[in-house]
Amino acid sequence: MKKIIVINGPNLNNLGNRSPKHYGKLTLDKIIYLMRKHSENTNIKFLFYQSNHEGRIIDFIQKKVKEASGIIINPGALTHYGYSLKDALIDTNLPIVEVHLSEIKNREKFRKLDIFEDIVISVISGLKEDGYLKAIDLLISYLNK
């Protein structure tokens, strides 16, 4: 059984309430449910984590990295300035897929910078919750090569 770390960063605990136009209407718990349902016939187990604090996310990654085969991450606003998180992700040497519910390149100027795009195997942006499902498929395909 392969384990995939799934990280959700700042403010993603507030999905369902937060700007449905950009982020959709589903809660994070519902997205997690959809991810599990999507993968129930695979050999994948998820290690889910959400925090509004960069250091706690880093601690979780460092604690769980030896159990994991890959990472799916929605870094939220850390996308634009989370350099210590970027270093922690690089140190894992795991394949990483980055997910964004909204299309960050088509939003406010400050959201256009993505400091993680050069360390991930793919960035999936603008597909709302379907982006997480696509990330699962992409990572499974990558791991099975």
Q: Was 93 annotated as part of a binding site?
A: no
Q: Annotated binding residue at 43?
A: no
Supply the DSSP symbol for 46.
E
Residue 106 counted as an annotated binding residue: no
CA 32 vs. chain centroid, Å, equals: 11
Of 41, 51, 53, the closest CA to residue 6 belongs to 51
Strand partners, 70: 4
**Active-site hit among 23, 49, 81, 132:** 23
Find the Cα–Cα–Cα–Cα dihedral 106, 30, 116, 53, rounded to 10°. 110
Asked about 53 being catalytic, the answer comes back as: no
Q: What angle do CA 57, 104, 31 make, to 5 degrees?
A: 55
Dist CA 57 CA 34 (whole Å): 22
Tell me whether residue 23 is one of the annotated catalytic residues: yes
Check the annotation: does 87 bind a ligand: yes
Q: Which residue in the list 22, 38, 83, 100 is annotated as catalytic? A: 100
- Does the annotation place 18 within a ligand binding site? no
Residue 56 assigned ligand-binding role: no
* Feature table: binding site for substrate: 74, 80, 87, 101-102, 111
Catalogue the active-site residues.
23, 100
